[in-house]
């Protein structure tokens, strides 16, 4: 039993920290140290494998170019010297210089922001904006690049109706084709020439040309969901599709007025090809906001309406046919009588004791009787009557 404190602590530490001390083998901590001459420096007579040149720089007169110099004898003495060229006989090569990087520094006389509008550039000498010269192509442009055209389904529908109205110019015009109710009916045909080439042509026309055009026309003037106009704006306009595939558009007086209002609105938007302004090359002239400019007239009226929504009504004659005929026959059989007194003349006063009756005969019709007061040259005053077409007795 251990009596010394050091022995007790040694036993305690051995049992707690190293419980398996008796079974643990000692570990060697020796480390092999390499000297700077080990490795490549200790090679003797072996063949060299590695880069065959070193980097050098030329003289000051040459501009200190970067060069590659072949390894010569004596430069690596630990390797086999027979594999190297003699001293001073090694090749020296100047590699191809790399592309110089362009400077991104802005020139002091060049503005950071180009002040010129599109299509112009700043002349560095004149300090003004000059047009950019466009390269000339071998192919010559034929015709305008942006010719007038109808823009949107509403403009196409308006133009189609206007074309049908124009066809009536030799058939009495609009008013010569009105029915008894004051309505006009137009047939709209959106088919193309492809419809004349058999079944296949009709199929292509219906699928890609006529069918989409009919749908857009019906949506525009038929009050569909895609129509840009309200029911009030389309009041008086009815569009249906008939058996032969054409569209039938009917317009009453209010419908014609509403149609002319729609045509005017499309023209003011610059959507109608007939009122778009062109330049000398036939291209559409655009305003600053990008909208096509237009020419007169301001109001476009294919139906010729001048304003209002209803036609002017004439005063109706409430008399029946028999009454009108009787009045007409009476005026024709009426004959003027002789010896009439002109209006405004004085008639002689009736003498006392005269026999007979005075006044117009029976059946005489007064048409314009006026009473006037005249002063008599004798004593007192008397009333005189004048009538057109009345015979005076005793004259």
pLDDT tens per residue, range 203-212: 998 899 999 9
Query: Does the pTM exceed 0.95?
Result: no
Distance CA 84, CA 74 (A): 9
Tokens, residue 275: 């009122």
How much is the pLDDT for 284? Answer: 92
How much is the pLDDT for 187? Answer: 92
How much is the pLDDT for 393? Answer: 47
How much is the pLDDT for 119? Answer: 79
How much is the pLDDT for 185? Answer: 94
Q: Are 72 and 88 in contact (CB under 8 A)?
A: yes
Distance CA 287, CA 116 (A): 19
Phi-psi region for residue 279, left (φ > 0), alpha (ψ -120 to 50) or beta? beta
SS3 content of the chain, % helix, strand, coil (to 5): 25, 15, 60
> Would you say the C-alpha torsion 51, 52, 56, 62 has a positive or negative sign?
negative
CA atoms within 13 A on the CB side of 354: 10
* Exposure class string for 171-182: b at 16+ Cβ within 10 A, else e: eeebeeebeeee
> Beta partners for 46?
79
> Beta partners for 251?
184, 237
> Beta partners for 146?
none
Burial class (CB in 10 A: 0-12, 13-18, 19+), 70: middle
User: What is the separation of C-alpha 250 from the centre of its chain, rounded to a whole number of angstroms?
Assistant: 28
pLDDT tens per residue, range 70-80: 888 878 777 77
Tokens, residue 324: 């009108």
pLDDT tens digits in sequence order for the chain, 395 residues long: 556 666 666 655 554 454 444 555 565 666 665 555 555 556 666 777 777 778 888 788 877 888 888 888 878 777 778 878 888 787 887 776 656 656 565 555 555 667 787 778 888 888 888 888 877 666 666 678 889 999 999 999 999 999 999 999 888 888 889 998 999 999 999 998 988 888 898 899 889 999 999 999 999 998 777 888 999 999 999 999 988 889 999 999 999 999 999 999 999 999 999 999 999 889 999 988 888 999 977 888 999 888 654 444 445 555 666 677 777 777 777 655 555 555 555 555 555 544 545 555 555 554 444 444 444 444 444 444 444 444 444 44
Beta-carbon contacts of 182 under 8 Å, excluding residues fewer than 6 positions away, are: 252, 253, 311
377-378-380 Cα angle (round to 5): 105
How much is the pLDDT for 371? Answer: 44
How much is the pLDDT for 31? Answer: 60
How much is the pLDDT for 288? Answer: 85
Beta-carbon contacts of 72 under 8 Å, excluding residues fewer than 6 positions away, are: 84, 85, 86, 87, 88, 89, 90
How much is the pLDDT for 189? Answer: 92
Tokens, residue 23: 């079974």
How much is the pLDDT for 9? Answer: 61
How much is the pLDDT for 348? Answer: 52
**Strand arrangement, sheet containing 53-57:** 53-57, 66-70, 92-93
DSSP 285-300: PB-TTSPBPB-S-SS-
Cα end-to-end distance, the chain, whole Å: 194
> Beta partners for 387?
369
Query: Which DSSP category does 314 fall into?
Result: P
Q: By C-alpha distance, which of 144, 146, 131 is closest to 290?
A: 146
* Exposure class string for 144-159: b at 16+ Cβ within 10 A, else e: eeeebebbebbbbbbb
How much is the pLDDT for 329? Answer: 78
């Amino acid at each position: 039993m251990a009596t010394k404190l050091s022995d007790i602590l040694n036993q305690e530490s051995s049992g707690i920290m190293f419980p398996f001390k008796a079974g643990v083998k000692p570990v060697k901590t020796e480390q092999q140290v390499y000297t700077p001459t080990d490795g490549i420096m200790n090679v003797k007579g072996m063949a060299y494998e590695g880069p065959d040149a070193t980097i050098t720089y030329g003289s000051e007169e040459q501009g200190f170019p970067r060069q590659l110099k072949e390894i010569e004898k004596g430069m690596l003495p630990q390797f086999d010297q027979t594999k190297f060229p003699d001293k001073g006989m090694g090749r020296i090569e100047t590699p191809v210089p790399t592309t110089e990087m362009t400077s991104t520094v802005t020139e002091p006389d060049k503005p950071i922001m180009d002040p010129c509008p599109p299509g112009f550039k700043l002349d560095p000498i004149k300090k003004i904006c000059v047009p950019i010269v466009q390269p000339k192509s071998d192919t010559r442009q034929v015709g305008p690049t942006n010719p007038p055209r109808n823009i949107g389904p509403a403009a196409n529908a308006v133009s189609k109706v206007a074309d049908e109205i124009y066809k009536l110019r030799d058939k009495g015009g609009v008013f010569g084709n009105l029915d008894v109710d004051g309505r006009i009916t137009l047939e709209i045909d959106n088919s193309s020439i492809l419809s004349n080439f058999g079944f296949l042509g009709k199929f292509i026309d219906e699928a890609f040309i006529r069918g989409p055009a009919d749908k857009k026309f019906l949506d525009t003037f038929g009050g569909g969901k895609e129509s840009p106009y309200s029911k009030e704006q389309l009041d008086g306009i009815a569009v249906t599709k008939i058996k032969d595939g054409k569209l039938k558009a009917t317009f009453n007086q209010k419908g014609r007025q509403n149609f002319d209002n729609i045509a005017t609105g499309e023209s003011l938007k610059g959507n109608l090809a007939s009122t778009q302004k062109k330049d000398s090359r036939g291209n559409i002239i655009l305003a600053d906001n990008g909208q096509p400019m237009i020419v007169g007239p301001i109001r476009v009226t294919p139906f010729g309406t001048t304003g209002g929504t209803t036609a002017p009504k004439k005063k109706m004659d409430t008399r029946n046919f028999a009454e009108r005929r009787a009045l007409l026959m009476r005026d024709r059989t009426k004959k003027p009588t002789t010896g009439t007194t002109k209006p405004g003349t004085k008639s002689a006063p009736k003498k006392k004791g005269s026999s007979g009756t005075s006044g117009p005969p029976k059946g005489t019709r007064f048409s314009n009787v006026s009473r006037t007061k005249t002063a008599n040259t004798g004593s007192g005053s008397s009333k005189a009557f004048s009538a057109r077409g009345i015979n005076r007795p005793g004259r």
